[in-house]
């Protein structure tokens, strides 16, 4: 069995569930594949109505699900509520996307046949999701998979088991039996699912994502893997420093920095002192504590091990000559760590290179914009970069020089729009983009069709030059 515990109250066991083995996963996939055979032939408008029903059920349970999210993964209440609003919108968006054109026609070589392509579902989508967005990420994977005619088998992170089961419970009355399955367990459960699915979508760590991609590729299964980030916010001297500091503080420390899009590095061009001073003040002003209190924006990290990693990183920063400008200590409740700012490190230091996945941000000076871009690009990740400036020309120039999948100007690195492509470069992503119109291309394959005349009653085309209408 596995347990999911509340990070703010570690003695609170939210749910226990089986650690499923290969046989149990195989049974779930068989059930899903049987359901997919019928679902594929359900007309798209009917599939859209079913997904609309799922959206309505989740919306009706949003308050309960928000509270469960706070309890199970420690997400601050306001963020949990916002995630539920977004989750409902995701299901509604993909319900309508299922009515988009499913192919195109082309001129045929003989001028008489019909040459076209159509998009077909793969079958069973194996979806492996993390704990930090326990409603949105399972939804932005399963909703497009279902809209395109696939079945879905979801393997959530153990720490988000209760949320996954509750979401599936909301969906069940509106979908054919067995079409959306949840398999629970540790890494072995996910490995079994990768070996059995027809298409695989993963979000998690770099090491696990690469292992998933290798396993799926070896068996010829389409795969996408969204992994880590070590995201930079470049602050130019002409930026509104107070505003930039407030935005960076929220992007770095909101939800205890537990987002792949969180700001991990603040790269300050010119004299770093004025911005650093403003950033320290903004971070220290952030309300920290029980995530069930609406005012709090940062609370516990997900596990005791995660807290040890963050506190160990703080000790490493000190040993490398870094200065802890704010935070750096454990707090209450549960596994909370105070939002932490560090400076005095080299851009090549491990803490400036590798994702900690906690409330820790490194401030790095740069002599000029060229140096800032070099620092921002000088990591193995390539997810998102923010640029803070009041100069539009400079913003446009720098946007074209950063090597991340997403670029934002005067906006936080954190936060994505579910109707736009999402993904990174380098070690941050493998395979096609997620979300938006890109999702249909991933969850379907292309079948090219030639439909030629039967030959009965065939006659050569007229040579009289009449119009096609004639």
**Is residue 277 a part of any domain in this protein?**
yes
Q: What would the mean pLDDT of 151-166 be, rounded to a whole number?
A: 98
Same domain membership, residue 24 and residue 170: yes
What digits encode the pLDDT tens for the residues 81-94? 999 999 999 999 99
Same domain membership, residue 207 and residue 68: yes
Report d(CA 141, CA 155) in Å as an integer. Answer: 11
Residue 349 in this model has a pLDDT that exceeds 50 = yes
- For the whole model, what pTM was predicted? 0.94
Q: Considering Cα of 197, then 200, then 202, then 208, what sign does the dihedral take?
A: positive
Specify the pLDDT at position 470. 33
Specify the pLDDT at position 468. 34
What digits encode the pLDDT tens for the residues 182-226? 999 999 999 999 999 999 999 999 999 999 999 999 999 999 999
**Is residue 465 a part of any domain in this protein?**
no
Specify the pLDDT at position 32. 98
Which residues carry out catalysis? 226, 260
Domain count, the chain: 2
Q: What would the mean pLDDT of 365-385 be, rounded to a whole number?
A: 98
**Is residue 466 a part of any domain in this protein?**
no
Burial tier of 267 (Cβ tally within 10 Å: 0-12, 13-18, 19+): buried
Candidates 375, 298, 2; CA nearest to 160 is 2
What the block records as the tokens of 429 is 């992503």
**Is residue 36 a part of any domain in this protein?**
yes
Phi, psi (degrees; rounded to nearest 5) at 191: -60, -40
Same domain membership, residue 186 and residue 255: no
Residue 354 in this model has a pLDDT that exceeds 80 = yes
Same domain membership, residue 375 and residue 242: yes
CA 430 to chain centre: 13
Q: What would the mean pLDDT of 143-157 be, rounded to a whole number?
A: 98
Angle, CA 94 vertex, CA 186 and CA 20 arms, to 5°: 15
What digits encode the pLDDT tens for the residues 301-330? 999 999 999 999 999 999 999 999 999 999
Task: Give percent above pLDDT 70 in the chain.
Answer: 97
Angle, CA 208 vertex, CA 205 and CA 209 arms, to 5°: 80
Report d(CA 422, CA 439) in Å as an integer. Answer: 10
Same domain membership, residue 153 and residue 116: yes
- Cβ(124)–Cβ(153) below 8 Å: yes
Specify the pLDDT at position 222. 97
What digits encode the pLDDT tens for the residues 231-260? 999 999 999 999 999 999 999 999 999 999
Structural domain including 101 reads 2-227+428-450
Q: Considering Cα of 230, then 235, then 239, then 242, what sign does the dihedral take?
A: positive
Candidates 241, 335, 331, 325; CA nearest to 284 is 325
Query: Which pLDDT band, with edges at 50, 70 and 90, does 464 fall under?
Result: very low
Residues 6+ apart with CB under 8 A from 29: 124, 126, 153, 181, 193, 196, 197
Q: Which residues pair with 388 in a beta bridge?
A: 235
Same domain membership, residue 131 and residue 56: yes
Q: Which CATH number characterizes residue 58's domain?
A: 3.40.605.10
Residue 350 in this model has a pLDDT that exceeds 60 = yes
Residue 462 in this model has a pLDDT that exceeds 90 = no
Query: Which pLDDT band, with edges at 50, 70 and 90, does 450 fall under?
Result: very high
Same domain membership, residue 150 and residue 33: yes
**Is residue 266 a part of any domain in this protein?**
yes
Same domain membership, residue 215 and residue 108: yes
- Cβ(293)–Cβ(307) below 8 Å: no
Q: What would the mean pLDDT of 128-152 be, rounded to a whole number?
A: 98
CA 384 to chain centre: 12
Give the largest CA-CA distance in the chain. Answer: 89
**Is residue 223 a part of any domain in this protein?**
yes
Residue 158 in this model has a pLDDT that exceeds 70 = yes
Same domain membership, residue 211 and residue 153: yes
What digits encode the pLDDT tens for the residues 413-439? 999 999 999 999 999 999 999 999 999
Residue 459 in this model has a pLDDT that exceeds 80 = no
Domain closes at, from 409, 440, 459: 409
Query: Average per-residue pLDDT in the chain?
Result: 95
Residue 257 half-sphere exposure, CB side, CA atoms within 13 Å? 30
SS3 content of the chain, % helix, strand, coil (to 5): 40, 20, 35
Residues 6+ apart with CB under 8 A from 36: 121, 123, 124, 149, 150, 151, 179
Same domain membership, residue 273 and residue 176: no
**Is residue 421 a part of any domain in this protein?**
no
Residue 287 in this model has a pLDDT that exceeds 70 = yes
- Cβ(128)–Cβ(137) below 8 Å: no
For 3, 138, 303, the CA distances from 144, given in Å and listed in that order, are 29, 11, 31
Residue 355 in this model has a pLDDT that exceeds 90 = yes
Q: Which CATH number characterizes residue 281's domain?
A: 3.40.309.10
Specify the pLDDT at position 458. 57
Specify the pLDDT at position 276. 98
Same domain membership, residue 204 and residue 62: yes
Report d(CA 464, CA 470) in Å as an integer. Answer: 11
Specify the pLDDT at position 455. 79
Residue 469 in this model has a pLDDT that exceeds 50 = no
Same domain membership, residue 200 and residue 110: yes
Residue 461 in this model has a pLDDT that exceeds 80 = no
What the block records as the tokens of 337 is 């760590």
Residues 6+ apart with CB under 8 A from 142: 125, 127, 152, 154, 180
What digits encode the pLDDT tens for the residues 165-192? 999 999 999 999 999 999 999 999 999 9
**Is residue 194 a part of any domain in this protein?**
yes
Report d(CA 194, CA 224) in Å as an integer. Answer: 12
Rounded to 10 deg, the angle between the 22-39 and 187-194 helix axes is 40
Specify the pLDDT at position 457. 56
Report d(CA 441, CA 103) in Å as an integer. Answer: 11
Residue 382 in this model has a pLDDT that exceeds 50 = yes
């Amino acid at each position: 069995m596995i347990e999911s515990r509340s990070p703010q109250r570690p003695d609170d066991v939210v749910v226990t569930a089986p650690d499923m083995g290969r046989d149990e996963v195989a049974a779930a996939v068989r059930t899903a594949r049987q359901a997919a055979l019928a679902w594929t032939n359900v007309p798209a408008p009917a599939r859209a109505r079913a997904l609309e029903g799922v959206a309505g059920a989740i919306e009706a349970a949003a308050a309960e699900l928000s509270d469960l999210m706070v309890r199970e993964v420690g997400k601050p209440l306001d963020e949990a509520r916002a995630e539920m609003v977004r989750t409902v919108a995701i299901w509604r968006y993909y319900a309508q996307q299922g009515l988009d054109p499913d192919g195109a026609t082309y001129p045929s070589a003989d001028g008489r046949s019909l040459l076209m392509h159509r998009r077909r579902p793969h079958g069973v989508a194996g979806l492996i999701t993390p704990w930090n967005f326990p409603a949105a990420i399972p939804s932005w994977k399963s909703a497009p998979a279902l809209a395109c005619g696939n079945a879905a088998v979801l393997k959530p992170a153990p720490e988000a088991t209760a949320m996954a089961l509750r979401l599936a419970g909301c969906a069940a009355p509106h979908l054919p039996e067995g079409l959306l399955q949840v398999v629970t367990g540790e890494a072995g459960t996910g490995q079994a699912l990768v070996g059995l699915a027809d298409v695989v979508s993963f979000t998690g760590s770099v090491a696990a994502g690469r292992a998933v991609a290798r396993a799926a590729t070896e068996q010829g299964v389409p795969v996408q893997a969204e992994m880590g980030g070590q995201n930079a916010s470049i602050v130019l001297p002409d930026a509104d420093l107070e505003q930039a500091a407030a935005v960076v503080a929220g992007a770095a420390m909101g939800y205890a920095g537990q987002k792949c899009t969180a700001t991990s590095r603040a790269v300050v061009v010119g004299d770093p002192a004025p911005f650093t001073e403003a950033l320290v003040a903004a971070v220290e002003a952030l309300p920290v504590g029980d995530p069930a209190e609406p005012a709090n924006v940062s609370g516990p990290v997900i596990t005791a091990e995660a807290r040890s990693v963050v506190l160990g990183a703080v000790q490493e920063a000190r040993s490398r000559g870094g200065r802890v400008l704010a935070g750096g200590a454990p707090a209450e409740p549960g596994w909370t760590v105070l939002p932490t700012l560090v400076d005095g490190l080299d851009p090549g230091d491990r803490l400036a290179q590798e994702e900690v996945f906690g409330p820790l941000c490194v401030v790095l000076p740069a002599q000029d914009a060229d140096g800032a871009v070099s620092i921002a690009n000088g990591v193995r990740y390539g997810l998102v970069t923010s640029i803070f400036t009041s100069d539009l020309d400079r913003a446009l120039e720098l946007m074209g020089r950063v090597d991340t999948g997403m670029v934002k100007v005067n906006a936080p690195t954190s936060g994505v729009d579910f109707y736009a492509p999402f993904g990174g470069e380098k070690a941050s992503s493998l395979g096609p983009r997620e979300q938006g119109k890109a999702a249909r291309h991933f969850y379907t394959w292309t079948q090219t069709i030639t439909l030629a005349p039967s030959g009965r009653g065939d006659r050569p085309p007229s040579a009289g030059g009449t119009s096609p209408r004639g």
